[in-house]
Homo-oligomer: A and B are copies of this chain.
């Protein structure tokens, strides 16, 4: 039985003590992760800010360089990804820029950007498995490969439908050695690549390389897709802009006959 007092409490407007530890907002003062924003602006790079927001601390100089390279590598893959196609479809339908970007992001489903998180999860769990059981990284790679193969699943982060050698992956690995960011997760990924090359002629792709490097930088696998989005939004924006300014909209190329019996500016479905 609910008392009258409780009832009143339940449906009264209530105080909302919103709390966040990310940014403290006061009049004329904004403090993010402990730093006044006017001190961050002009003193740190955008990737340093991204690291600060997500990890709570500033990266080392080498980590910053690595993150810079990772974010650049996410930039664009032409009109082949469903996210780009969705954003362009919406742009050609006349939706606003923010709606087009949101729409593109909604297409980062399990089969699209999902691979990077799956790959991070596999590598992070692989390292735990290796430590807990005293396995070497090549033994761990072998076990992961067996597990996925026995369950009829592909190894996330390896193989690509357009590229048999994704040009971005080896470049990222090379840089990770230069920036001293090559550690156990990337080593495990290299072991996996070795086995997969031998057995199936398959190489690491961009997702696998970034999954390994982000894991070595200490990012939790649950932010993998989010970081991919951070890196890909500028590319989506470029596509939306291109679509909105071109004469022949993308959509027309997709599904329209040349010979329209009537109204062709305002379409009806």
Contacts and interface: CB of A to CB of B under 8 A. Distances in A.
Contact of A69 (B26, B42, B72, B75): B42
Given A18-B79, A94-B112, A160 B262 contact: yes
A268 interface: yes
A112 B9 CA distance: 22
Q: State how many copies of this chain the complex holds.
A: 4
Interface residues of A, number: 150
Contact of A18 (B13, B22, B50, B172): B13
A74 to B, nearest CB: 9
Given A15-B15, A82-B251, A222 B27 contact: no
Contact of A222 (B154, B241, B267): B241
A90 B82 contact: yes
A234 B93 contact: no
A97 B223 contact: yes
A47 interface: yes
A106 B95 contact: yes
Interface of A: 2, 6-7, 9-11, 13-30, 32, 36-38, 40-42, 44-47, 49-50, 53-54, 65, 68-69, 71-73, 75-83, 85-86, 89-103, 105-115, 118, 153-168, 170-172, 174-175, 178, 200-203, 205-208, 222-223, 225-227, 229-231, 233-235, 237-242, 244, 250-251, 253-269
Given A25-B80, A111-B251, A160-B263, 16 more contacts: A2-B261, A11-B25, A20-B78, A20-B239, A42-B174, A42-B175, A42-B178, A53-B75, A53-B235, A77-B269, A98-B108, A100-B106, A154-B265, A159-B262, A161-B257, A161-B263
